[in-house]
Structure 1
Amino acid sequence: MTALERYGEFFAAMQPADLDRLDAVFVENARFRDPFNEVEGLAGIRAVFEHMYANCAAARFEVLETVGEGATGYLRWRFHFRLKRDRHDRRPIDGVSRVVLAEDGRVREHIDYWDAAGELYDQFPVLGGLMRWLRARLSVDA
């Protein structure tokens, strides 16, 4: 099993208790970026995931595909979640993470790519209406 595959397994099985062992997965000065956050270091990465768990009653990543060569790889994933105020799970969000590994196999850089407007904002009443209106104004009539 490659280091990238091991990271994918960690990512898919991650629970709040796993945040205590981030140093086994990320190098000290690792960089993490998603559409809402850009942090550097273990404390910043921990804060991002603590915030996710604090706001979600249920949150888990399903890793669908792992592709990599050398120190750089990609995880295609699906995020399943329910906000604490929700009665039911929300529609899952699909995304891709670009992962750069250090020589020891730990993560040096993790950058998420996913469509916040189409995947997340669209699920909320006011924002969803605005996103649908904007999409209709900017799309080509075919």
Structure 2
Amino acid sequence: MNTRQATQDLVTFFETLSPDSVAQLHTVYDAQARFKDPFNEVQGLPEIERIFRHMYVALEQPHFVITGQVVDGDQAFLTWEFRFRFKRFDTHTPQTVRGASHVVFNAQGLVTLHRDYWDAAEELYEKLPVLGGFMRWLKKRANSA
């Protein structure tokens, strides 16, 4: 297995992800892959697919831009920007969440583990009406102590 090629295939998949291509997750993920982010922890392609399908229901024009990658052995670390607009709140302002993913590949070059790291408070909650003001207040209080 060529981890650099598997990583590039994954990068291409995510940068071109669309509602129609979600069904092609099996081309880059193992059937029993595990996925974890600040809101989900699931195993298996149907559950991972459900998460990505929901992204298109909940958000307007979601897409990933991979900004960096480090490949080592059978794993890779990707940094990214997730760009979208809210469907229910501020529907006009483009949003960006910055984060990173740790992925592990099997011998066939398929992802067996995908773990996303991003700060839900800073990158998401602070951008929401009402809750955003409260989160910024909490952050200010914590930093002034």
State the match for 1:67 in structure 2: 70
Paired with 2:81 and 2:93, the residues of 1 have a C-alpha distance of 13
2:50 pairs with 1:47: yes
Inter-partner Cα distance in structure 2 for 1:11 and 1:101: 16
Cα 1:88–1:72 change in 2 (3 A) is: same
What does residue 33 of structure 2 align with?
A: 30
Percent of pairs with identical residues: 43
1:107 equivalenced with 2:107 (yes/no)? no
Inter-partner Cα distance in structure 1 for 2:71 and 2:9: 12
The secondary structure found in structure 1 opposite 2:101 is: strand
Match of 2:134 in 1: 130
Cα contact 1:8–1:66 (8 A) shared by 2: no
Give the alignment's TM-score, normalised by structure 1: 0.93
Report deviation, 1:11. Answer: 0.9
C-alpha separation in 1, matches of 2:10 and 2:37: 17
For 1:77-134, what per-residue CA distance to the aligned partner results, in whole angstroms no more than 9, with x for missing partners?
0000012234314330100000111111111111000010001111112111111111
Amino acid at match of 1:33: K
Residue 16 of structure 1 aligns to a residue in which SS?
coil
SS at match of 1:11: helix
Moved more, 85-94 or 96-105: 85-94
**RMSD, aligned α-carbons:** 1.3
| 3-state SS of paired residue (2:20) | helix
2:86 partner amino acid: L
Separation of aligned partners in 1, 2:39 and 2:8: 25
Judge conservation of contact 1:76–1:95 (CA < 8 Å) in 2. Answer: yes
Other structure's SS at 1:67 match = strand
| Contact 1:33/1:112 (<8 A) preserved | yes
The alpha carbon displacement at 1:6 in A equals 1.4
> Where do 5+ consecutive residues of structure 1 fail to align?
none
State how far apart, in whole Å, the 2-side matches of 1:28 and 1:140 are: 48
